[in-house]
Amino acid sequence: MKTILSSLWSPQPGGRSQMLEYDQMLIWVSVILMLFGMVMVYSASISLPDSPKYAGYTNNHFLVRQAIFIGFSLLVGYGVFNIRMEIWQKYAPYLFVLTLILLVAVLIPGLGKGVNGAKRWLSLKALNIQPSELMKLFVVLYAADYTVRKQEYMHKLSKGFMPMAMAVGFVGLLLLLEPDLGAFGVIVCIAMGILFLGGINGIWFGGIAALLVGIFSLVITLSKWRRDRIFAYLDPWQEDNALGKAYQLSHSLIAFGRGEIFGVGLGGSVEKLSYLPEAHTDFLLAVIGEELGFAGVIVVVYLFYWLVKRAFDIGRQAIVLDLTFAGLTAKGIGIWIGVQAFINMGVNMGLLPTKGLTLPLMSYGGSGILINCVGLAILLRIDYESRALMRGGRIS
């Protein structure tokens, strides 16, 4: 508590202290991650026009688009920051239902756009919207609102957990039809994390967690291509695996091995030269590891650690001030960013089986950057409202 309070105040000349109105460090860390990501996206994608698939692209195509995504997302984030948390709480269930409709729309022939065998996007010409990215944010808001509304029933299975489980289960069914098991895993972690923080019965939580592990195991067991991915992940250097299902993983590990401590230098990656697929999206960390080495990877890991820790600090402070919805939302945003970053890093380093999840704030992609910025703007708003109350003022 003392640490949190001290971080909110800035000394001024004359011995007086005045509370800052917003968390400047949170903004700087977020911007640094996005700009660092933009540089690495450019490095990872600069050679893509040499391949037939991207022959019509210029060398700076992805750099320009990423810069546009970041600029637009920052503008949207500024607008979102001005929305009070009570408004988000009021409309959380409606936003959740709207995103469910978009997830259904993705599966309708003619509306959903398929890439690499998966239908996850709705095309708006200038921008492809990925509803699963929207759902990561809106499930945070919905789960936080649900926990506040059902607080007295959180120790009961039928009235406390089951309605939320059915809602998340329906989301999971839609995501598995796309298919997008990675996004489903993140969303389940968000919902379960918020329910746990909201006071769900510990015994029920443990039993349900075990059940979810069983469900995920069953989904993998019943899907041949998922089973093949698991077996390839367990032995990526076996010849058939290295040339097949573990191709991305094996080249990602080669990239990390080439980078050693300080890397081969910015722009010097060999693996990005059409060896490592999706180097500018899912496997951006591997390019960072090759070009900037262990040192570069540690910097990225630390920045994400700081961001997640700060989200939990903001959430804890809001709950102390009796802003329960805001506090749970802040912690939910921390869980979302932390879990997705952990899965992406784990996949890149061979700690987890290959999944199509991007690195938040850094990987190429309009939907991901936009929703990440919206989530962080809400986090900044929560901190702003907490500071306003601590100053004894009113939230405006």
Q: What is the pLDDT of residues 97-143, one digit of tens each?
A: 999 999 998 888 877 776 666 677 787 766 678 899 999 999 999 99
SS3 18: strand
If 0-12 CB within 10 Å is exposed, 13-18 middle and 19+ buried, where does residue 18 land? exposed
pLDDT, average across residues 249-266:
95
Phi first, then psi, for residue 122 (nearest 5°) are: -110, 120
Q: Where are the domains of the chain?
A: 21-100+126-390
Strand order in the sheet with 118-123: 112-115, 118-123, 128-129
DSSP character for 57? S
- What was the pLDDT predicted at 139? 95
SS3 201: coil
Cα–Cα distance list, 73 to 31, 34, 69, 357, 372 (Å): 11, 11, 6, 19, 9
- What was the pLDDT predicted at 126? 63
β 112-115/128-129 pair status: unpaired
Task: Reply yes or no on whether the pLDDT at 376 is more than 50.
Answer: yes
Task: Reply yes or no on whether the pLDDT at 215 is more than 90.
Answer: no
- What was the pLDDT predicted at 267? 93
Task: Reply yes or no on whether the pLDDT at 337 is more than 60.
Answer: yes
CA angle 216, 370, 136 (to 5 degrees): 25
pLDDT, average across residues 8-15:
41
Closest CA to 283 of 349, 236, 367: 349
The more confidently predicted of residues 226 and 29 is 29
The more confidently predicted of residues 200 and 289 is 289
In this structure, of 228-237, 277-286, 316-325, 359-368, the range with the lowest mean pLDDT score is 228-237
The confidence band for 3, taking pLDDT boundaries of 50, 70 and 90, is very low
Whole-number Å distance between alpha carbons of 77 and 293 = 32
- What was the pLDDT predicted at 370? 95
**Can you give the pTM of this predicted structure?**
0.90
Task: Reply yes or no on whether the pLDDT at 217 is more than 70.
Answer: yes
Task: Reply yes or no on whether the pLDDT at 33 is more than 70.
Answer: yes
Closest CA to 33 of 368, 293, 313: 368
Task: Reply yes or no on whether the pLDDT at 209 is more than 70.
Answer: yes
In this structure, of 31-35, 294-298, 309-313, 366-370, the range with the lowest mean pLDDT score is 366-370
Do the Cβ atoms of 352 and 194 come closer than 8 Å? Answer: no
